[in-house]
Amino acid sequence: MTELMTDLPTLEEVDSDGAIREAADRVRGDSRAGFLGKALLATGGLVGGGAVLGALARPAAAQTANDVAILNFALTLEYLEAAFYTEATSMGALAGRDTLTRRTLRFAQTVGAHERAHVAFLQRALGSAAVARPQFNFRGTTENKELFVKTAIVLEDTGVKAYKGQAPLIDTPAVLIAAAKIHSVEARHAAWVRHIAGQPPAPAAFDMAATKSQILAAVAGTRFIVGAGGTSGGGSPRFTG
């Protein structure tokens, strides 16, 4: 984890013109939980995972808050992926001596470390404007190797499309560069898990983007997000069974 963090850009590098910090200062008086609560209130309350993600997609403040909203959208997806892989490697479903199981475990461990590094980077970039990690229930997909692989394909494909869809909307060039660094890694994750599943790693010559509303609908459909987080994204995810 320490090695992964050493190559991450600093907040100053990502936010060279102070846009993110300016927006963060506007909401610095609120706790992260309070900030999320206000966003949920603006959408009429919490009604499942779609409402949580819909609230997080709203701007945190005026002007440069567009980048804050996009980064918080990305952070929520990274929270989900990090929790999914961390839980999967802890549940024991990926234990086994056969080659495919060992490859799957190595994938989960490696990608889990990447996703946790992405979470830490986005939290650092957003500062006090970062949303809290939601509560998750992965509905048994972390307890079965076959379900884990199928779910990982969906999550990684979704992440790639989400970053691609938001990239043209980013205001600050340095933030775009940082997002691109994550996007390419997510694409490699998607290719890796497809290879494990015996599927073509690159099934087409062109890859389509997805809008924020399409991603929100897809994530809500998984029913993995079951509630708003009350703390920051640190610590280990709760096992959901």
- 167 phi and psi angles, rounded to 5 deg: -55, -45
CATH superfamily of 18-227: Ferritin, core subunit, four-helix bundle (1.20.1260.10)
Tokens of 101: 């199981």
Q: Give me the half-sphere count of Cα atoms (radius 13 Å) on the Cβ side of residue 226.
A: 8
Q: Bridge partners of 227? A: 135
Q: Bridge partners of 225? A: 136
For residues 182-199, b (16+ Cβ closer than 10 Å) or e, as one string?
bbebbbebbbbbbebbee
Give the span between the Cα atoms of 154 and 131, in whole angstroms.
23
Residue-by-residue pLDDT tens, the chain, 241 positions? 333 333 434 444 434 444 444 444 443 444 334 433 333 333 333 334 444 444 344 333 324 689 999 999 999 999 999 999 999 999 989 999 999 999 999 999 999 999 999 999 999 888 889 999 999 999 999 999 999 999 999 999 999 999 999 999 999 888 899 999 999 999 999 999 999 999 999 999 999 999 999 999 999 999 999 988 643 334 444 555 4
Q: Can you say whether the dihedral through the CA atoms of 99, 103, 105, 106 is positive or negative?
A: positive
Give the span between the Cα atoms of 238 and 229, in whole angstroms.
12
Task: Tell me if 23 sits within 8 A of 68, measured CB to CB.
Answer: yes
Angle between helical axes of 19-26 and 99-126 (0-180°, round to 10): 70
